[in-house]
Structure 1
Amino acid sequence: MDTTMIKNILGAYGPSGREDKAAEAIKQYIAPYADEVYRDTMGNLIAHKRGTSGKKIMLSAHMDQIGFIVVAIDEKGFLRVARVGGVNPIIATAREVVFENGIKGVTYFENTAKHGVNEATFNELYIDIGCASHEEAEKKVAIGDMAVYVTNYVELGERAACGAMDDRICCAIVAEAMKKMKSEHDVYAVFTVQEEVGCRGGSPAAYAIEPDLNISLDVTGVGDIPECSRMAVSLGCGPTVKVMDSSVIVPPVVRAFIEAAAEEDNIPYQREVLRAGGTDTGAIQRTRGGILSGCISVPTRYIHTPVETVDMKDVDNAVKLLCACLKRKELPRR
């Protein structure tokens, strides 16, 4: 895959509810390969490539990333914030962050001398943007403004670490698949909003599209790092085919469809049972009278940190697996 594309998509500002810049970054890569590209009322970016079969496949990957929202500015110019999505307060300490307008700051906690950073809570988190007063700070940042981690793309051999891999790496996978795929079906690539705050964007898009099949793409946890929860997923062993997460039990007919596509094209894959955490897969499955919905995931270390780490072989194989699914003539059905 094009590393420049990946870096541009990963680096775009786009916390939940503020995905416009992320959408613009993705749009430039998908527009040449779609018959129409548009934003819906929720803000989802949708690229439609027409087919001839009369069947519709929806691909969904979320654009939004976790972040911080300003809830108050104190008299010394420090910004008090709340989390947007699953920000871990321990991970959030002593980090560089950036607002949409380019203002940068650093995070820290009060009272660390009393109980240590490992016991800190979000009530004690603040952002320092270098101001000495409330008046000075509010000229730069307003209540309701959002910040995200400042991150760098770091190559680790065949692996890469960066913030917003969740889920921009899957946005890049969908964009690459739109470029390479051959399908007789109508394909709707949907880059969803507000997944990190409750899977809010995918369902309205699916309601409007009414797909015969949805395949979501997201990251998933691994069981190959020290002292982690047991999970039969490792980096470098292929993308995963979801069996279950906290939001969905994938219909066996859909899982079998994805696995058959992998086996026909000799694409390595793993099965995924995610005990905690949900995805757009579940929200889309419950739309209208129910939509057949499955998920291909990218194994990822250190999710919801500025150093989310993936193996690029898994990324490339996820593109191949998605293309293998799209070229199949018969879609799963109950």
Structure 2
Amino acid sequence: MNDLIKKLVEAYGPSGFEDHMRDLIRPEVEPYVDEMSVDALGNLITLKKGDGSGLKVMIAAHMDEIGVMVTHITKEGFLRFTNIGGVRPHGLWGSRVQFANGVIGMIGSDRIDDRSKIHPLSKHYIDVGATSAEDCPVGVGDAAGFVQPFFTNGKLLTSKTMDDRIGCVVAIEALKRLETTPHDVYFVFSVQEEVGTRGAEAAANGIDPDVGIALDVTITGDVPECPPMSVSLGKGAAIKVKDSGMIAHAGLVRLMRQRAEAANIAHQMEVLDGGSTDARSIQ
């Protein structure tokens, strides 16, 4: 499974530019589904048909990642940029980004004399090795994703875009193992989650599911100086009860707990103060 994880987490796919991710996922799931389509927004929607006696179930995992988009090219060839999703300036300096055409750039920032301050995004730039605007290999409106290799440390995995390529892997593996079901199960690999769960909203409007489940990541409460939280790394899947965008259906939460306990699956209950997932748009 690590080979599939590596392939997906290292792939390019900022919000709005998920085509490559969709092309990687499609052959993984096509042999196991009864129907597959791509909607107008770019969601990859697959259907495993039931026997007609069950419900319509939508399971969503988003393909997109946070990134940056070029807003201006200076006469010296440096790229000014804006964010795609939740990009925070305090960790950008020295980061590598890659554009769809394969060009890699390094993020720098304007001179700062007060080291106690953090430059806003507008004071950062990308250096792609160009010497002028004319010889710059990318243009205004081009998007880039971050570059970070996948590696393992025992049972721990580290990479960019675990949010939410790991959810895509879980969906793919679940789909492969789902042999029969009374339900019509829609596995949706959604777009533009990082900029407002837009893809899941469009997909849910089209599918009109009876049950919706989002597969995504969360933060933990077991790192230094973090907000108190009952979720810890390595102690099982987190079953969300509430976040800033939705309150989970109590019956569905109860069912998940019961099934996890019956199968001896380690699990934790999650209440997240900030942030949300595709679940809010499905709901």
Q: TM-score, normalised by structure 1?
A: 0.82
| Residue 193 of structure 2 corresponds to residue 195 of structure 1 | yes
Q: Which residue of 2 aligns with 1:125?
A: 124
| Residue 25 of structure 2 corresponds to residue 26 of structure 1 | yes
Distance in 1 separating the partners of 2:4 and 2:131: 39
| Residue 153 of structure 2 corresponds to residue 161 of structure 1 | no
In structure 2, give the amino acid aligned to 1:101: N
Show CA shifts across 1:284-311 (max 9, x none): 11xxxxxxxxxxxxxxxxxxxxxxxxxx
Return the match for 1:252 from 242, 250, 253: 250
| Structure 1: stretches of 5+ with no match in the other structure | 286-334
| Residue 99 of structure 2 corresponds to residue 102 of structure 1 | no
Show CA shifts across 1:233-264 (max 9, x none): 00110010001000001121111111111112
Residue 243 of structure 1 contacts residue 249 of structure 1 at CA under 8 Å; is this kept in 2?
A: yes
Residue 95 of structure 2 contacts residue 146 of structure 2 at CA under 8 Å; is this kept in 1?
A: yes
2:195 counterpart SS class: coil
2:203 counterpart SS class: helix
2:198 counterpart SS class: coil
TM-fit CA distance, 1:32: 1.2
Q: Which residue of 2 aligns with 1:5?
A: 4
Residue 90 of structure 1 contacts residue 117 of structure 1 at CA under 8 Å; is this kept in 2?
A: no
Distance in 2 separating the partners of 1:180 and 1:134: 51
Q: Which residue of 2 aligns with 1:75?
A: 75
Q: Which residue of 1 aligns with 2:142?
A: 145
| Structure 2: stretches of 5+ with no match in the other structure | none
Q: Which residue of 2 aligns with 1:184?
A: 182
Distance in 1 separating the partners of 2:166 and 2:2: 11
Q: Which residue of 1 aligns with 2:239?
A: 241
Q: Which residue of 2 aligns with 1:36?
A: 35
Distance in 2 separating the partners of 1:28 and 1:59: 18
Distance in 2 separating the partners of 1:9 and 1:28: 13
Question: Deviating runs (4+, > 3 A) in structure 1?
Answer: none
Show CA shifts across 1:181-218 (max 9, x none): 24221110001110100111101111111111011111
Distance in 1 separating the partners of 2:60 and 2:93: 32
Distance in 2 separating the partners of 1:58 and 1:152: 31
1:160 counterpart SS class: strand
Q: Which residue of 2 aligns with 1:55?
A: 55
Residue 67 of structure 2 contacts residue 144 of structure 2 at CA under 8 Å; is this kept in 1?
A: yes
Q: Which residue of 2 aligns with 1:279?
A: 277
CA RMSD in angstroms, aligned pairs only: 1.0
2:197 counterpart SS class: coil
Quote the sequence identity (%). 43
Distance in 2 separating the partners of 1:58 and 1:13: 25
Residue 67 of structure 1 contacts residue 149 of structure 1 at CA under 8 Å; is this kept in 2?
A: yes
Alpha-carbon distance change, 212 to 159 in structure 1, aligned in 2, over 3 angstroms: same
TM-fit CA distance, 1:115: 2.3
TM-fit CA distance, 1:117: 7.3
Q: Which residue of 2 aligns with 1:314?
A: none
Distance in 2 separating the partners of 1:96 and 1:242: 33
Q: Which residue of 2 aligns with 1:310?
A: none
Q: Which residue of 2 aligns with 1:328?
A: none
Q: Which residue of 1 aligns with 2:65?
A: 65
2:16 counterpart SS class: coil
Distance in 2 separating the partners of 1:154 and 1:118: 32
